Chains A and B, each alone.
Chain A
Amino acid sequence: MVDMAALTKLHASPITATRVKARRRAETRLKIYGITAIFLAALALVTLLSSVFYKAAGALTESYINLPVTLSAEEIPVDDPGSANFGGLTKDVMKEVFPFVTSRRDRRDLYGLVSSGASFELQNKVKADPNLIGGVITFPFLLSDDADLYLKGFFGTLTSEDTDGALSISGNVTEVGEEVQLFSTANDFVAEVAVVKELLLIEAARVRADAERQERGRAVFTERAQAASTDEQREKLIAGATGYATQRDALNARADDLEDRALRPGGEEPLSSETPSLLLEVNGGWIDATRVSATGLVGEVVVPLFSDADAAPGEWVLHVMETPENARKVNDKQVIWLETLRSNEATETTFNWRFFTAGDSREAELAGVWGAIVGTFFTMLVTFFLAFPLGVSAAIYLEEFAPKNRFTDFVEVNINNLAAVPSIVFGLLGLAIFVTGVEFEVWGREIVIGGFAPRSAPIAGGMVLALMTLPTIIIASRAAIRAVPPSIRDAALGVGASKLQCTFHHVLPLAMPGILTGSIIGMAQALGETAPLIMIGMVAFIVDIPQGITDSATVLPVQIFRWSDFPERAFEAKTALAIVVLLGFLVIMNILAIILRKRFERRW
């Protein structure tokens, strides 16, 4: 017998109360772990998707500059407009807009603003409508990727600083490249000088750290010299220590100098490609500063001024580009040219249709995903028409006909194993059997098995993906067929249907929604597959839109892989946008599967 009084006493005791509390706490802890895990997974998903979408936004638009083009009949023959030098014409147009750009290097930078594809577009426009020849048209020239990125603000934005003083100018202001001096009556450049001095301090700290390293080296060498066994060695080590000491002193002296410059008020500081750029707009021209002090600066004329007349307060603008020149792909001059074009309202930003209609290109601004989409379509077509009939047939056999024997067991083991084989191994299989062929020597004769599919063609890729998707489709189809209740089969067999009639006329139609759902999910997996297609050579650079299943092609995931490897900054956004397109297709397929399941799935 349990002593109830003692039990009650125990249950009411503080020891029990603390223990119960501890047990409850353990439960809460476990719950918190679980919630944290789900939260972390959600966080990963959100971070992944938002970083992709954020990057993709940059590729949604493209930039043009609208410039007048004179299509003179002398340069462009009316009967054969395509033969004219449109590249030269494009350069002439740029020269006309910026007649003061004369040096070779500057010219090259200037032409670099416009995409190499722009002249082809002009050519196509003139070819399509030769009546334009002899007139002047305004043509939108596509900007190069770097110029486009600048206009979108990827390299930082040009900010205008407040200025109070009147500006006096001296020097030859009408010639590009000449040095001019500018003085303000107020301390308008104090903030900029401070920024430069801060950078000097950072540089000084870096040099000091360097000097410290030399000092450590000297210390080590000195120590070793004291412990050295022979005089020769000692001398060598001492010499090394002295060398370190000299370097240390030199570095320290430099750091001292830098710190001195940084801390001393006033004075003039040089600007370099590692400091922010100061661009001054006055009297209709632009000056790129090379040295700056609190009240004035020295700079180079980039766009000629009307005159060297003094500018009243508010009539001149100081622009600051925080991003140093060596951290962006457009130099100060290009910035100024683009800004003049922008202020003349010649630049235009439109939705980037080209991305969805063009094939691949090495130039970021010309590249598009249409070729990859078409390639994906053909590949998926092959995959579906191979994997679906084969998978469903295999499932029907295994569920409805297969006797329980060794063969059936072996097939099942194989299907389960294939579902887990790494995709890259399927790629190797495709490469060996479909593309190159496996050679055997039988009785002294060489026999080649396979090797019928052309490299990088959707047919080869489709076959590899079909083999990969097969297990998924078989497993899903078997589940769907198994879900059809036996009563249906019994009824069909009861009225005299053969086994095959029962299967094809009754079981299969009822299992179809489930089979299709599984197949679509399998196809969605295949759509995202990359590695096996790389193996069979679909990673080649293909500009043309494929026309059939035997043409060389690439697919979206492989395109993403290739672009992500390109060094051009603009490809990052393009890659992200291609990912968004791919995810869009996946979402559509999955929604289709969900709708199928919701609408046609029957519960028995």
Chain B
Amino acid sequence: MIQITIFVVLLLTAAAYLTGRTRAVTAGGGALATLHSRPSYHGFYCAIWVLMVGIAAILVIAIIGGALIEARLMAAIAAADPTLSQIEIDLVLSDAQAIAAGDIASRSGDLRTAIAQQFISAETMRIWAVLVVGMGAALATFMVTTRQINREWRARNRSERIVRYMLVTSAAIAIMTTIGIILSLVGETLNFFANIDWQVWKYVFGLTWSPLSGVHSGEMDADKVGAIPLFAGTLMITIIAMLVATPIGLMAAIYLADFASPTVRSIAKPMLEILAGIPTVVYGFFAALTLGPAIRGLGEGIGLTVASESALAAGIVMGVMIIPFISSLSDDVLNAVPQSLRDGSYGLGATKAETIRQVVLPAALPGIVSAVLLGVSRAIGETMIVVMAAGQGANLTANPLEAVTTVTVQIVMLITGDTEAATAAGPAFTLGFTLFCVTLGLNFVALRIVRRYREMYD
């Protein structure tokens, strides 16, 4: 039914466009040049108003109507059986809705059937209200806007203003997304900290991570929410990844920026881009099913015990994933070092290698540092490789051959686990918030460095 209403509004929109145009042409009276705005602007102005008002009316009526119905039915349930608690009322209501929709309810009974009847009649009312109000609002706007049309009507300026507002709104989506992230993360984080009696230090410095052990009534054991094992695991995998990615990425960038012939560049650059374009889940598959067993076999060959989900495998593969990131950022930075610096160095008789080591690299150092920082932020936030190839148990170890777990792995495990969503959300969103803050901080620092460095040579 709602779809039909929307369809009708769309039809009215099209009609408004055509009517607006025709009216404008008529108003022009054969001499279109006397119109302030071209006919299509008149049409567009009418159409955009009809569409906006119509959709807004539908949404408002549908949402308010739904909330009203719910409130009234809850009141009805409470009146019918005053002994019920709020949760039971909710349950009765959802059962009644299921009965009304013809689905299977958890329980049935006279009260539920009666409420279901009420629900059906109210729901029918709501649908008709949506249809009538939506169509009515659209139609009224249609009448008002098309009647305004005359020679002097500044339809173009008015529609352009609307379009401008739309553009601003789109640009503001970025802000709204950030606000959304913070809203969704902060709420649960505060809940979680409230659950451990604001002993935030136990989360930041605690050594035992087992937040769901013994959770029955939503009460967290503050001694078991220590995130240090997760931080340590994340750190270890990140270090391994950066040990792989930084030298390879940096060396590749130096070679491509200062030594490589155009042919080599034209092969190596796309190759690195392919590496960057491979989805992380593919890297994870490779780490879990090819590299992990290979490292294990190798380790056992020389008499080491290697866990089948070792930090080493995940770290190496993550490093490979970050190589193109580091190399392309460093490449940009190296190319941004002014040629005059190089020429000066060559002029003093330095070789290419000496120029790179003693002139180009020091000049590019801030940029390279920020590239590495961005790489670290990537590694910390990477999820799929570690979920598939690193371990799940939170054990505190310094041995890269053992299984460690990371912040992202724990978030995935908590959210996809069997525990009730409301309980698992606390620790998961808190970890998410920590992750968000850390990566944001790293990016902030990295961008700052880059900006300052750019200003130096511009």
CB distance from A36 to the nearest CB of B (A): 7
Choice from A530, A576, A583 contacting B280 with Cβ under 8 Å:
A530
**Residues from 88 to 141 in A contacting B, C-beta threshold 8 Å:** none
Contact A36 B251 (CB under 8 A): yes
Contact B255 A38 (CB under 8 A): yes
CB distance from A518 to the nearest CB of B (A): 14
Q: How far is the CA of A528 from the CA of B281 in the complex (A)?
A: 8
Contact B174 A474 (CB under 8 A): yes
Given A23-B354, A417-B178, A428-B429: A531 and B384 interface contact (C-beta under 8 Å): yes
Contact B285 A576 (CB under 8 A): yes
Contact A402 B171 (CB under 8 A): yes
Contact B178 A414 (CB under 8 A): yes
Residues of B within 8 A of A433 (CB): 180, 183-184
Where chain A touches its partner, the secondary structure class is helix
Whether a CB of chain B sits under 8 angstroms from the CB of A534 is yes
Contact A422 B285 (CB under 8 A): no
Contact A30 B356 (CB under 8 A): yes
Q: How far is the CA of A402 from the CA of B172 in the complex (A)?
A: 12
Contact A44 B320 (CB under 8 A): yes
Contact B286 A425 (CB under 8 A): no
Contact A528 B268 (CB under 8 A): no
Given A424-B435, A425-B432, A575-B285: A37 and B167 interface contact (C-beta under 8 Å): no
Contact A37 B247 (CB under 8 A): yes
Contact A27 B163 (CB under 8 A): no
Q: How far is the CA of A539 from the CA of B416 in the complex (A)?
A: 8
Q: How far is the CA of A333 from the CA of B5 in the complex (A)?
A: 66
Choice from A416, A425, A499 contacting B436 with Cβ under 8 Å:
A425
Q: How far is the CA of A532 from the CA of B412 in the complex (A)?
A: 9
Contact B255 A582 (CB under 8 A): no
Contact A31 B259 (CB under 8 A): yes
**Residues from 172 to 218 in B contacting A, C-beta threshold 8 Å:** 172-175, 177-178, 180-181, 183-185, 187-188
Residues of B within 8 A of A45 (CB): 271, 274-275
Q: How far is the CA of A426 from the CA of B351 in the complex (A)?
A: 48
Whether a CB of chain A sits under 8 angstroms from the CB of B127 is no
Q: Mark B356-385, 1 if CB is under 8 A from A, else 0.
A: 110000000000000000100100111110
Q: How far is the CA of A36 from the CA of B259 in the complex (A)?
A: 13
Contact A530 B279 (CB under 8 A): yes
Contact B443 A420 (CB under 8 A): yes
Beyond A431-B415, A471-B174, A500-B164: 18 further Cβ-contacts under 8 Å? A37-B247, A37-B248, A38-B255, A38-B271, A41-B271, A45-B271, A48-B282, A393-B166, A393-B167, A394-B170, A427-B415, A429-B177, A432-B429, A433-B180, A528-B282, A534-B416, A561-B388, A583-B278
A contact residues vs B (CB 8 Å cutoff): 23-24, 26-27, 29-31, 33-38, 40-42, 44-45, 47-48, 51-52, 55, 389-391, 393-394, 396-398, 401-402, 410-411, 414-418, 420-429, 431-433, 436, 438-440, 449, 467, 470-471, 474, 498-500, 524-525, 527-531, 534-535, 539, 557-558, 560-561, 564-565, 572, 575-576, 579, 582-583, 586, 590
Instruction: Give the 7 A-B residue pairs with the shortest CB-CB distance, closest first.
Output: A34-B255, A422-B381, A528-B279, A432-B184, A393-B170, A37-B251, A531-B383
B contact residues vs A (CB 8 Å cutoff): 156, 160, 163-164, 166-175, 177-178, 180-181, 183-185, 187-188, 247-252, 254-256, 259-260, 264, 268, 271-272, 274-275, 277-286, 288-290, 320, 323-324, 327, 351-354, 356-357, 374, 377, 380-384, 387-388, 408, 411-412, 415-416, 421, 428-429, 432, 435-436, 439-440, 443-444, 447
A-B contact list, 14 entries, CB within 8 Å? A27-B353, A34-B255, A34-B259, A37-B248, A41-B275, A41-B320, A41-B327, A45-B275, A397-B168, A417-B444, A428-B181, A529-B279, A530-B383, A531-B408
